[in-house]
Amino acid sequence: MSRRMKVGVIGCGNISGAYFKAIRTFGNIQITACADLNMDAAKAKASEFDVKPLSVDQMLSDNSIDIILNLTTPQAHAEINLRALDAGKHVHCEKPFATELKAGKKVLETAKGKKLYTGCAPDTFLGGGNQTCRKLIDDNWVGRPVAGTAFMLCPGHESWHPNPGFYYLEGGGPLFDMGPYYITALVNMLGPVKRVCASAGRAHDSRIATAEATRGTVLPVEVSTHLAGILDFHCGAIVTVVMSFDVQKHTHSNIEIYGTSGSLVVPDPNSFSGPVMVSTNRRDWTESSLSHIYTDNMRGIGVSDMADAIMRRRPNRCSGELAYHVLEVMHAFGKSSQSNRHVLIESTCTRPEALPVGLSEGKIA
Ligand SMILES: NC(=O)c1ccc[n+]([C@@H]2O[C@H](COP(=O)([O-])OP(=O)(O)OC[C@H]3O[C@@H](n4cnc5c(N)ncnc54)[C@H](O)[C@@H]3O)[C@@H](O)[C@H]2O)c1
């Protein structure tokens, strides 16, 4: 029987609870410790989930820990990833993989040099909804994909997040915050992106937090908050992608894929579930039953997949290569807007293996 790998969490903020809960589902990983710059946050999560509270230094020098789960804010992702790798640990981090391409590349190269695994959120594309869409495309239900749309339009996160400042700083914004879900879902279905053209702008230079914890705080806006782009995929599909924190309300669906013989409505890539709607040969939409399990909030399934990949010496599905490719695509939006031209994407990646049909709960293979 394979060993249960030990996971140490760094970053005990808003999203960490979802990971602590979901990771209990998986038989091949176990969170044993947590750390945060803010020791009180680490202690609170440690006592809630019955793990050891440690400082970041203690965690990195703890020989019992195999995988670091980096749930810090985007500006700290690359630094913590590099420290984890230097300490000889595999690392899976929240999105984005890094804020800067150079830092992302350094993480990839360091991992390769040390023969360690890197991974990155989102792992939502391993959920039942998105895996069903992948299967419908692979099984030719809509024919050859030729086009698509992806819309993430909202008024921003300052009305609900207790500490929303980072969403408007370098590494934040609608594209770097939500784009990873959408672009990763698209790459999972369609393969890598060849080139990008885009326009980027923002409606406000500052915002006011309205959630109770920070109500009234002025939030400087350093990043574009409305970005509209067109992605040309190597497979030939042309997909319109709009990511915005400047839209109050809209009626678009999250993602639609148009093939030569049918169309597919893909569920919210920031969720694990459906519904999946399909139309073939211009017939009415029908809701497809889901071919795959994992439809609840399973954040952490990517860590379970990494542990399985390490054991079986195979590539992990939420790989650093995939995350770096998505990061380069996101950077291309700003570059294209500034330079008034298409930007060619240098990196590539293979589509992650689809999950098998018929998995039992808690298993990844
Ligand atoms: N909040 C959500 O709903 C949500 C959902 C999905 C993904 N995410 C992603 O998860 C990440 C964390 O988001 P969050 O909402 O939990 O943020 P948060 O601000 O609530 O928590 C981040 C925690 O990381 C700690 N931290 C920051 N830098 C650190 C460092 N160098 N060393 C140790 N600890 C450090 C902070 O002290 C804080 O406790 C972000 O990348 C975000 O994009 C958040």
Nearest to 266 by CA among 224, 237, 303, 245: 237
Nearest atom, ligand 1, residue 167 CA: 43
Tell how far the Cα of 331 is from the centroid of ligand 1, in angstroms.
21
Is 72 in contact with 94 (CB distance < 8 Å)? yes
Whether ligand 1 lies within 6 angstroms of the CB of 123 is answered as no
- How large is the greatest C-alpha to C-alpha distance in the chain, in angstroms? 60
* Residue 162 Cα to ligand 1 middle (Å): 11
What is the pLDDT, as a whole number, of residue 170? Answer: 87
3 — pLDDT class (breaks 50, 70, 90): confident
* Dist. CA 12 → ligand 1 center (Å): 7
Mean pLDDT of 246-254: 98
**Strand-pair category, 255-259 with 262-266:** antiparallel
3-class DSSP state for residue 344? strand
Separation CA 142–CA 324 (nearest Å):
29
pLDDT at residue 1 is higher than 70: no
Atom of ligand 1 at shortest range from CA of 95: 41
Cis upstream peptide for 180 (omega within 30°): no
Q: What is the mean pLDDT of residues 222-232?
A: 98
Query: Has residue 171 got a pLDDT over 90?
Result: no
Domains of the chain: 130-288 (3.30.360.10)
| Residue 214 token pair | 């920070």
CA-nearest residue for atom 42, ligand 1, is 73
Assigned token pair, 265: 């409505």
Q: Is the pLDDT of residue 341 over 90?
A: yes
Residue 35 to residue 41: CA distance in whole angstroms: 8
Percentage of the chain exceeding pLDDT 70: 99
In this predicted model, what pLDDT tens digit does every residue of 70-120 receive, in sequence order?
A: 999 999 999 999 999 999 999 999 999 999 999 999 999 999 999 999 999
Whether residue 153 is predicted with pLDDT greater than 70 in this model: the reply is: yes
Would you say the CB of residue 72 lies under 6 angstroms from ligand 1? yes
Question: In the chain, what percentage of residues exceed pLDDT 90?
Answer: 98
Dump pLDDT digits (tens) for 301-331. 999 999 999 999 999 999 999 999 999 999 9
Q: Which residues in 85-130 belong to E strands, given as ranges? A: 90-93, 118-120
Cβ–ligand 1 distance for 10 under 6 Å, the answer yes
Ligand 1, atom 30, lies closest to the CA of 37
Q: At what angle do helices 128-138 and 173-190 cross, to 10 degrees?
A: 40
pLDDT for residue 52 is more than 60? yes
> In this structure, are residues 202 and 246 in contact, taking their beta carbons and an 8 Å threshold?
yes
